[in-house]
Structure 1
Amino acid sequence: MPAPTEKKNPLVSVVIPNYNHARFLGDAIRSVLNQDYRNFEVIVVDDGSTDNSGEVAAVFGDSIRYIYQTNAGLSAARNTGIRAAKGSLIGVLDADDMYEPMFLDTLVNALESDPDADGVYCGYQFVDETNNLLPQIENRPVTSDRLYEALLDGNFLVPESMFLRRYVYDEAGLFDESLRACEDWDVWLRAAKKYRIIHAPRILTRHRILAGSMSTDPLRMLTNRLAVLKKHVGGEPLVEGSSILHRAYGRAYLGSCVEYLQYGDPDRAYQCFQKMANICPELLTEVDTFYQLGCGDQPKGRMGDLASLNVKRNSIPLLVMMKSLFVDAGTGNAVKRLERASYAKAFYSLGLLAYGTREFGEARRFFLRAVLNDLKLAFNRQIVSLWVKSLLSPKMVDWLKSFRQRSVST
């Protein structure tokens, strides 16, 4: 890879692909024009829009470059913009998303401070269609040597959160135009495998959640998710295992299981749950598996929000799936041998979630069922501590927390 030799204040190219997002396009463009860092160009690629996107773009005059093309898809629009870019640093901002004012300044400085880094990613805040903040924030710090493996577990980045040196796209390749979803994940995997991508620990972008978008179509997401994995780690394994290959496919089906729960399709959710278990049984013994499933009906933008989470309600479809899994003739023997361990981990995870939502009675019941499936958990310090605290009133728990904080501060 070429060594970065560019002087300070490098030119940044921000590519904004757009298809019929006239009502959001102005917000995206203004979020770039309002950046504290000033050496940038804005390239809007209109992918054959039939709304008034062209009129919206025209308002900004010479402050942007506007490229119109016949509709060819999101990946093709991004690629058109990258090919037209003049900058040595490239950001990709979808037309319905936004940068915070410090985005460019922070990430340019991060790369200037670490010239051996080939790219940088930041955290992001979910917002609704009218740009109101939603509870969910994603800001996952992963070291560059672990990023590829972490991304194989599932894509936790969005296009606007990634900021790459131009040569990464030149060498690793552009967006795959055959994919109709997960095309960004494919590029991030290619980049993370070969290049050094660092993390900037700030929330610097807004990711808008739209009804009917590609990411709300579980079948489209699953189909393309599997296509990406086939490119990177090979075909889907036919027998169970715990390799990187097995884990990647297992996690892919877990993600789709959660999406089908969000979509309200329990039958297809179960199909994905069973596929996950048969491919990578060890996922049934991990807290994160049941954390995701315990938040199952929460939509994107609210995933993990304890204030709106109803653990008792969400536990019902999860436990129905588990009951089916262990009696289903299509479930492998390696999975069935993990029945008690899986139930223990599921109830333990549900107990943690219920405690977090202050459903203290439910938390105690879940913890008890966890212990009944794995007696060693009776000596788990976290369970014992939370069990005792769950017997206290919420006001008493708050008082103990404040008392502990005062004690530490003094």
Structure 2
Amino acid sequence: MKVSVIIPTYNRGELLEQAIDSVLRQSIDCHEIIVVDDGSMDDTPERIKSYGEKIRYIRTRNGGPAHARNIGMRMARGEYIAFLDSDDLYYPYKLEVQTRLLDLYPTVAMVYTEFSGFDDEGYWEKDHLRTYHKSAYRSRNVTYGSIFSESVDLLRSGILPESLSCSEPDLRQRRAYFGNIFDACLLNTIVFTNSMMFRRDILPKVGWQNESFPFFEEMEFALRICRQHNVAFLDIPTYKLRYHPGQISSTATRKESMVAIKTQQYLLRAVKKHAFMDPNYYESHRVTIDRQLARLHRAVAVPLMSHEGKSAHTRKYFPKRARRYLAKCKQYGHPEYFLWAVSYGPPMIRRIAFAAMSILKK
């Protein structure tokens, strides 16, 4: 068994079928599909029956994505492990190109890739990660060449199959990159769950995904891999990330605003955990780490200040909480005096200030 594909799912029966079908259409057959049903209350169990022995299906209590992926990893029999969220899709060549790379480069523990973004209303972006990187690294002039220590041509190296280079000629110009990217991974979310494929035998040392993280559990897991091992990046999209209504929109409900706050808090927690794990590492990278920690504290403070609470207590309490995070920005050498002053203003003033900041950023 070459690859175990783990699909955690929760109440996404119809989309799950599309995800499974995208794995069944892979250009290589040496893989198993493990579907971990995280306590779905829809018709997922009934839909799964039609696949018979094509998949391994297990139903568990609702415990979140990390819990479901950990169950799948314990069940896995493949030499390599890959993930797929139940609302996303693999390109047909996904498993083939990544297994070829890991077979050719035995010192590489994990390979991740470019990916595409789409929604059901017509949004489409083939190289979604490239666009994200342009935004994330805009002020730092960071390139793939500066993140990684070496690269190879996909066709000459044998990573890209000849058949794929003929059917997808634009991929011929792409490259594979190699190196230790822990520093870069700590400063930006660059490894995305469904693009990963890693060797199963690294798990005893790396450990399982942290089930106490409801958000960014996959990033924290990737940080552990990148801290201990060399990894590779394939600059070709191997999966399609499905956006749902509201994810691309700039408007948000109160519930979505709270999710944004929680998400940023767990990202901050993951980065702090790894930044301070080794005191010597922190001291030698203090300038960049402090800048990143200040940025992440700011990223929590802004949605706290933007949150439209129903009660007078909430409207007063959230800006106060925001100031605690803004105080940390100052502690890490990057004070946010403007936001600190704005936090004392009424909601209308804060909205105007954020709108002005958004315009200036563009």
Q: TM-score, normalised by structure 1?
A: 0.60
1:171 to 191, 202, 205: 205
Partner SS for 1:67: strand
| Inter-partner Cα distance in structure 2 for 1:202 and 1:75 | 26
Superposed displacement of residue 281, structure 1 = 3.8
Whether 2:52 is the aligned partner of 1:52: answer no
* Offset at residue 35 of structure 1 (A): 0.9
Partner in structure 2 of residue 274 of structure 1: 326
Gap runs ≥5 in structure 1:
1-9, 236-240, 285-320, 330-345, 355-410
2:216 counterpart letter in structure 1? C
Equivalent residues of 1:218, 1:260 under 8 A apart:
no
1:173–1:278 distance in 2 versus 1, CA, 3 Å: same
- 1:220 corresponds to 2:229: no
> 1:108 and 1:253 mapped to 2: Cα distance?
39
What is residue 318 of structure 1 aligned with on the other side? none
Q: How many residues align?
A: 286
Alignment match, 2:297 = 253
Supply the distance in 1 between the matched residues of 2:122 and 2:78 (Cα, whole angstroms): 29
Q: Which of the numbers 221, 224, 230 marks the counterpart of 1:187? A: 221
Report the secondary structure of 1:37's partner residue: coil
How much is the aligned-residue C-alpha RMSD, in angstroms? 3.7
Whether 2:207 is the aligned partner of 1:155: answer: no
Match of 2:33 among 42, 45, 48: 42
Counterpart amino acid of residue 44 in structure 1: V
SS in 1 for 2:26: coil
For 2:173, the equivalent position in structure 1 comes to none
* Cα contact 1:12–1:90 (8 A) shared by 2: yes
Deviations, residues 79-121 of structure 1 (Å, cap 9, x unaligned): 0001001001000111111111111111111112222111101
Q: Is the 8 A contact 1:254 1:272 kept in 2?
A: no
Over 3 Å counting, the alpha-carbon distance change for 1:264 and 1:198 in structure 2 is farther
CA displacement 1:53-91 (0-9 Å, x = unmatched):
112222222111111112122111000001001001000
TM-score, with length taken from structure 2: 0.68
Determine the structure 2 residue equivalent to 1:293. Answer: none
- 1:328 Cα offset (Å): 8.6
Q: Which residue of the other structure, out of 265, 268, 274, is the alignment partner of 1:232?
A: 274
Matches within 5 A, 1:200-349: 200-211=234-245, 217-234=259-276, 242-256=286-300, 271=323, 274-275=326-327, 277-281=329-333, 323-325=338-340
For 1:93 and 1:56, the matched residues in 2 are separated by 18
Equivalent position amino acid for 1:229 in 2: V
Structure 1 residues 116 and 242, CA gap change in structure 2 (3 angstroms): closer
In structure 1, how many angstroms separate the alpha carbons of the residues matched to 2:76 and 2:33?
Answer: 9
Deviates more, 1:202-211 or 1:254-263: 254-263
In the alignment, is the contact (CA less than 8 A) between 2:39 and 2:59 conserved in 1?
A: yes
Structure 2 portions without partners, runs of 5+: 134-143, 149-177, 248-254, 278-284, 310-314, 345-355
Q: Rg bigger for which structure?
A: 1
Percent of counterpart pairs with the same letter? 26
Aligned equivalents of 2:122, 2:99: Cα separation in 1? 26
- CA distance in structure 2 between the aligned counterparts of 1:57 and 1:175, rounded to whole angstroms: 25
TM alignment of 1:25-174, pairs within 5 A: 25-129=16-120, 132-134=123-125, 137-139=128-130, 141=144, 142-143=147-148, 144-174=178-208
